[in-house]
Structure 1
Amino acid sequence: NYVYVSQRYLTDYRVKEKDIIGKHHYEVFPDLPEKWRKVHQKALRGIVSKADEDKYIRDDGSIDWTRWECRPWYEANGSIGGIIVYTEVINEQKRKEEEIKKLNQRLKILIESIQQLSAVQSLEKVQDIVVKSARKLIGADGATLVFRENDHCYYMNEDAIQPLWKGKRFPVNECISGWVMQNKKSVVIEDIYSDERILREVYNPTFIKSLAMVPVNINEPIGVIGNYWKKKHTPTETEMQLLQTLADAAARAIENINLYAELEDRVKQRTEQLQAVNKELETFTYSVSHDLKAPLRGIDGYSKLLLDEYGDSLDEDAAHFIKTIRSSTLQMNQLIEDLLSYSRLERSHFKQEKIALKSFVKTLVSNFGEEIKKCGVQVKINIPEVDIVTDSTGLSIALRNFMENAIKFTCKSRNPEIEIGFDENPDYWIMSVKDNGVGFDMKYHERIFEIFQRLHRAEDFPGTGIGLAMVAKALQRMNGKAWAESKPGHGSTFFIELPKIKTI
């Protein structure tokens, strides 16, 4: 039987002291669930039971959350005289825990939304993310995204339990979204029909009873996010802050998209300009080179005729002059041929094809048989039986120019050697042409791959200064690169690197 109850107990369980003192617990609470009877019986056997969080359903169906402990109390002689039940209604604590749990869930939604907005590149995607996130973020029955178009509010997108105004426009001065943008602040209306800013004829056909709106870009609003409820509802200050944070993120996303589009347009315009200039340059180079060959053939032909017909009657100086003219003509012709090749390279379309590399290199080297024999060059081909996928024309241009240079710059060496090597890593194939020729100073490394750049006099080592420029151009179009390593008097090694392509 009850011998004592606290005032808190009387309050929590809605009973009066006079109605329970002296009475048995089961008389006061005749419908007590069986689990409690078992708890009491355990206490009478000396067993302590407790719970930090338990649901208590009252007679009227309402629910209280309680923390309780049930333990025996003892007589002076040590025997169990009864039980003591400590209880505490923790509804407020439970409410706060639920609020924290709900806030964490909403923060998760907000963070995910911001992450998505930071990555999107289209306004359509922004609209979709914003309306869906806004509705979930504070548990609304509908959400809209509204943008300002001159003197109108354009309801661009929505996510709601029933259709609202997607695709419609309303005058800025006549709708609540316009008010938010003009006043640069959010609004909460618990009862829309008691607010004079609401156009009743617009809202009457809808489910909406309450609304909340926040501006997109609060300093200079470009739009509004609206949330709506079918029952009267007032969002908390925290919920409005979450919604405003989403609106700020949307503003930044839209700003980034506009900036990206502007930059893309600039890049496109610049690319088109560069393509036009390059095309003009290619056409000019080809035309000039082609047109120069006609008078050059005349100079060469007449100088040869002059030498053949009147060579015996010319003095030594005159004969030397004519030979110099012919030599210069041949050099000029080679320069024009190289310019034409460079121009054709600019216009060519590279293709991917499977190449048996060792066989390819052997064939290429055999084309230099006469020069190799003349200079006494020893050529080593250290290439495995491997297939690569690349453009055969571009590869041929690169290796042919490397070989030409290697032969030219080793020809006067005591024991001329050229070694063609191969290496690879997970991403690239690498080929090299190494010689023991004159070499060069590495401070000129970048210069040698530019057109018309030479490090030696034409009298010492003939050439036009276009070969390595063609290599660089070819490798650029093949998404590869070319470089060299050298030291004066110790030869040079030229490399090409090509990206691995597994399929054709």
Structure 2
Amino acid sequence: YSRHKTYPGFLFWVYGSILNSLGGVLLCFRGYAPDLLTIILANLFIVLFYYFLTKGLERFFDVTTASWPDLALIVLFVLLFLFFTYATQNIEARIIVICLIFFYFCIKSFLILHRLHDPPGNIYFLAILYSIAFWSLARVIITIVEPWGMSDFMNAGAEHALTFIVVIFTQILLTFGFVFINHRKMETELEESYSVLEKNEADLKLFFENSPATMAMFDNDMQYINVSQKWFEDYNLADRDIIGKSHYEVFPEIPEAWKEAHRKTLSGQKLSSEGDRFERIDGSVQWIQWELHPWHNATGDIGGIVMLTKDVTEQKKAEELSRKSEEMFHSLFRNHDAVMLLVDPENGQIIDANDAAVKFYGYDPGSLKSMGIEKLNDSPPDEIAKARTRALHGEQNCFEFKHRLASGEIRHVEVHTTPIEIMEKTLLFSIVHNITRRKKLMEEHSRAAQLAALGTVAAGVAHEINNPIQGILGYANLIQLNPQNVERNFKLSQGIMTESDRIAKITRDLLSYAKDSRVEMIKTSIRDVVEAALTLIRPKIANKGISIEFNVDGSFPNVYIQPQSIQQVVINLVDNACDALKNKATQVKDSKIEITIDRIEQSNPPEFFIEVYDNGEGMSAAVIKKSQEAFFTTKPGREGTGLGLSIVSDIINKHHGRLLIDSEEGLFTRVRVLLPLDNKQV
């Protein structure tokens, strides 16, 4: 029986049965062998049989009780037997002791069985066997107390033999009971295993049928065992019963390479493919992504294959279209005459550059593709990084920079940048336009506009100079008429000096404005700059009924600006305001131009503004929208070139500022120039 499965506790019953048999054999030699063997040791072996019976039940049914009371009782039994054998030779006492200890172990076994919450049916058979054992022991006790006495009992052959046979037969039945309950438990577990297996098979079938994946399970002969619903959908098998059929019968067009993959998987390998072409028997083509996994049965042997597939035909078509698009893009990119760059937005590394870029920058292709954009761009690195971030997030796509060529020359460029996906990576696609000539033309236009504005104020300035000159001539004539009048001539000479200072100031302002130093940024008083501009433009609007108000805090700090450029801005804006009031000056009594300089509270970075306000004709929304475009003007052809606000906007951009226009047609116009308070980095 050792070849079959046994459970914890069965080995205790084997030991107990062996000891019980030895005890029975020793009893047969009573009278021929010493009492220590035939009485003490024989009965101890029989008692140990019941002890091992109880311990086996505990282990078999996983019941835990203390062992020390049983062992203590067995030790007490041995001591009593020794006493009643050698000290008093009391046979009745020996039988009572052994019957009591049999009874103890029987009761304990009953208690173990009754403690089980869900005892199997074979326990009832075991209970019957215990009942027989209990009856046999009770019969021995009854026989002991019979009037014919113990000596008669020991000599009574038939009664003694019958009692001995009943006891031995009961113990044999118990031994068979151990085998029976072990076998019964094994059968119960086997039935439960079959039940679990059936449930698992049902669950597996349900899992396959309802799985969202395209999957199938095959045996070693590649016959279908389980199939998901999506398998039927992907391979147009909705009207076919394929369970039990060969995979190669269902798909006779399967290529030999796939069959080889199946054979390798059945040998234990795991295989997969990102996409194989599968030409169906009807001529259609599918691209299949697949995985093959061997599955193992209960013995650990390979039972077949689990196949997972995915129809990636549309994905392959999209990849092919993307590949062709990328090839077309690279062809256009490589051969286009415009300078083009592909830049990594994270670190500014130039990933690729077309032939036009190689020619423009003067680097060889390898060097150009291995450098960062910072080597070409003359701007500070942090400013370049911010520009890349704005372009990546779509906040700005047009930038103006200065790029340095391999020769060291500087070129003004306009860069149009947009993020694109290439090879599953986001890059910045930049088209670079060389605007050096355009910038030079704009500089010339700006200079021309500056001189034009100078021409605009020249007549008024000449008039302003003429008045003090006439005063000087008058004072000089008076001195000539009476050179001896020292006191009067002293006062007249003071008047000459005052008028001369007035002429000198006008001349200085005029010369300062005419000076071409538009690149130079200096820290200066914005109040003085604006006042100098007003000195030049004020004569033009004199006697036109227009008042000029200039508001500025006397403690306003000095700022970094290009003075001549800011003067040009103020002159252009005041001149425009004057023109807006020209047609309205006779209709409105309080025609005015207000110039205000002030800080903007809580701006980051700190800013200040120069505001020019007039209550003239105003502008429509359409005119405001186009007002900063070059060559756009609402004035007659001879009065305007359309460059005024365009140049103003360019100057403000160079100062890292902003131009805001608020106007309502027929009521007012407010032009606000916002500039950084700390513009030193410009």
Provide TM-score, normalisation by structure 1.
0.34
- Pair member with larger Rg: 2
Q: Which has the higher helix share?
A: 2
Structure ranking higher on relative contact order (CA contacts 8 Å, 6+ apart): 1
Provide TM-score, normalisation by structure 2.
0.25
